[in-house]
């Protein structure tokens, strides 16, 4: 989407939203209801939750897609309580459709609807601690790590990007020119929206970013698990990028599983044994095996 197309979208939104009174108060009231539901203080139906989230995403966030380029490195970890060297890549990637009934509710997936969760990394050892924390690895666990990379461009929505803009804190994987674009979009929104509408936009972005960073509690996943579908239902977006819950600032992704098969290649595997969890997504882990991936997507492991 070009800057002119983005401005036209904002102009159209402004024409509608600027006439509707205290929208900051309206958005705050919806956020209060959702937070009360998360804290198990009130009851909401699924349709009420979906309607509120769809409204917040649709009206009060600017859904700009970030293209993630081919070659971007992503890894995914799976923890086991006993020694395990997984033989099949599919067991490390995502729950296959024929076993989708085994997929429990997660941060961005509903019950029975698996998605691919992964950590973006930039060096050979980078991202492993994040992957350990995202898979809730414990001392004594064996962790199989699948290393993959994008073979084609995918489009993701960065939840919380305007919080980075307000703090002038560019995500390290994001090119300068792309971050500048978000800064310009934010400035244009501030110019075109009334104070109340612009504040509503800030509140929505802050809330969505917040609930994706919270530790699981109460009804949290009953709210967040609906977001991936809402953001990707137009088929222009392949997934969501957000900040790791336990490793602040490190980027993680949730992708539609079709993107994994169509736009990702799996390169290798590693096996670790967790020896110490220091907290703050920092671990001591022994690297026990390296796995090479064969053409039939089976893994051959070699002791290290």
pLDDT digits over 123-146, tens only?
Answer: 767 789 999 998 999 999 999 999
**Residue 299's closest CA among 88, 123, 140?**
88
> Over the stretch 63-96, which tens digit does the pLDDT of each residue have?
678 889 999 999 999 999 999 999 999 889 987 7
Q: Partners of 88 in the beta sheet?
A: 298
The predicted pLDDT at position 178 comes to 87
d(CA 289, CA 83): 11
For residue 79, the model assigns a pLDDT of 95
Q: In the chain, count of helices (H) and strands (E)?
A: 11, 10
Please name which of 146, 178, 155, 152 lies closest in space to residue 165, comparing C-alpha atoms: 178
Predicted pLDDT of residue 244: 82
Predicted confidence at residue 97, as pLDDT, reads 73
Residue 167's pLDDT is what? 84
Cβ atoms of residues 107 and 113 within 8 Å: no
Of 30, 17, 61, the residue nearest 230 (C-alpha): 61
Quote the pTM value.
0.89
For residue 61, the model assigns a pLDDT of 74
Predicted pLDDT at 1: 64
**Cα separation, 301 vs 99, whole angstroms:** 25
Alpha helices in the chain (DSSP H): 3-17, 23-38, 46-60, 89-93, 128-134, 161-167, 176-192, 195-213, 220-224, 227-232, 257-263
Rounded Cα gap, residues 66 and 159, in angstroms = 11
pLDDT attached to residue 183: 92
Report the pLDDT value the prediction gives residue 144, as an integer from 0 to 100. 97
pLDDT along the chain (304 residues), means of 10: 82 92 94 98 97 89 82 94 93 79 86 90 81 92 96 92 86 85 92 94 91 92 95 88 79 91 94 95 95 94 96
The predicted structure's pLDDT at residue 160: 84
- The gap from C-alpha 282 to its chain's centroid, in whole angstroms, comes to 21
Total residue count of the chain as it appears in this document: 304
CA distance 176 to 118: 23
């Amino acid at each position: 989407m070009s800057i002119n197309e983005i401005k036209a979208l904002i102009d159209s939104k402004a024409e509608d939203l600027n006439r509707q009174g205290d929208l900051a108060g309206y958005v705050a009231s919806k956020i209060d209801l959702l937070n009360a539901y998360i804290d198990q203080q009130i009851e909401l139906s699924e349709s009420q939750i979906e309607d509120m989230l769809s409204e917040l995403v649709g009206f009060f966030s600017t859904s700009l897609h970030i293209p993630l380029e081919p070659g971007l490195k992503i890894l995914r970890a799976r923890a086991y309580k006993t020694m395990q060297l997984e033989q099949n890549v599919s067991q490390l990637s995502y729950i296959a459709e024929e076993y989708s009934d085994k997929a429990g509710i997660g941060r961005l997936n509903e019950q029975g609807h698996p998605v691919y969760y992964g950590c973006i990394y930039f060096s050979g050892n980078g991202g492993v601690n994040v992957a350990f924390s995202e898979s809730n690895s414990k001392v004594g666990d064996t962790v199989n790590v699948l290393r993959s990379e994008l073979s084609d461009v995918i489009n993701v929505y960065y939840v919380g990007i305007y919080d980075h803009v307000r703090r002038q804190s560019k995500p390290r994987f994001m090119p300068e020119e792309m971050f500048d674009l978000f800064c310009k979009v934010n400035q244009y929104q501030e110019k075109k929206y009334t104070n109340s509408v612009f504040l509503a936009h800030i509140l929505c972005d802050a809330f969505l970013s917040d609930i994706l960073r919270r530790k699981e509690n109460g009804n949290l996943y009953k709210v967040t698990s609906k977001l991936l579908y809402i953001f990707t239902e137009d088929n222009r977006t392949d997934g969501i990028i957000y900040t790791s819950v336990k490793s602040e600032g490190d980027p993680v992704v949730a992708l539609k599983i079709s993107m994994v098969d169509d736009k990702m290649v799996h390169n290798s595997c590693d096996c670790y044994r967790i020896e110490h969890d220091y907290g703050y997504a920092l671990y001591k882990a022994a690297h026990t095996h390296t796995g090479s991936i064969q053409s039939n997507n089976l893994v051959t492991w070699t002791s290290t």
